[in-house]
Amino acid sequence: MAVTVSVLLENRRSFSAQTSLRAKAGLSLFIRDEHDAILFDTGPDDSFLHNANMMGIDLSGLTAAVLSHGHYDHCGGVPWLPDRSRIVCHPQIASERYAALNVTGITLPIKKLSLDIDYSRFRMEYSRTPLHLGERFLWSGEIPMDKPQPYGVITGQNSGADYVADEGVLIYLSDKGLVIFIGCGHRGLTNIVRHCQKITGIKHIHALFGGFHLRTASPQKLWAMRQFLLQQKPDKILGCHCTGSWGRLWLQEIQAPATGETYVLG
């Protein structure tokens, strides 16, 4: 059984795509097999919907919309989803978060990374634990990390360092192994893969697809990740969004999906 992935929004537009398609910093994927249809992330605004219309993709029959985490470039398009849409995500999705600068021991918020979104219009399914979505799709739940890295600060009720603990991934259980869809990879590609293997009991990775957050990664981190992937031997690596050209240099035989492209996996 194959799964089809249409790139509704990514940082770049495909050279072969129609020029009416928008490309913006963010990610939105329409993923479907013969049983289910999932919208994975929405990008920062209504661009995912505009592009879906231009590409002739009907989003009215979604099994669910899955939000990888609460940064605006992944969930900013939520207000353009129909009322009562089923949305699956982590309970901390709506945390108010900022990029921050540390000056002489004082943390200064400098840029807001979240949006004030009214989630009350939707059928929200919050889960820290794995959750089955349809026949072959699985929400990972929260991904554990031994040494999480802060990516800013959370303000308000749960104030403190922002380790993007709300980031989860979408897993597709293909006949050829796991297909893992990743929003930004803040929790670390190695941690993500190991968590998905643990909760499914499936070792082989058929494909990794999404943002791997490697555009400013250190050579040491990239080398360790490269060695890990060489051991895992995934069939396909498709790195877009925040993977960056720097990250792609370190990954063998990587593909770089762009807005307007469609892939068939499995």
Convert the pLDDT of each residue in 1-54 to its tens digit: 789 999 999 999 999 989 999 999 999 999 999 999 999 999 999 999 999 999
| Averaged confidence pLDDT in the chain | 94
Residue 206 CA: distances (Å) to CA of 131, 138, 233, 238, 254 = 21, 15, 9, 11, 13
Classify residue 13 by its DSSP letter.
B
pLDDT at 101: 80
Q: How far, CA to CA in Å, does 176 sit from each of 2, 69, 205, 229, 266?
A: 9, 27, 8, 17, 6
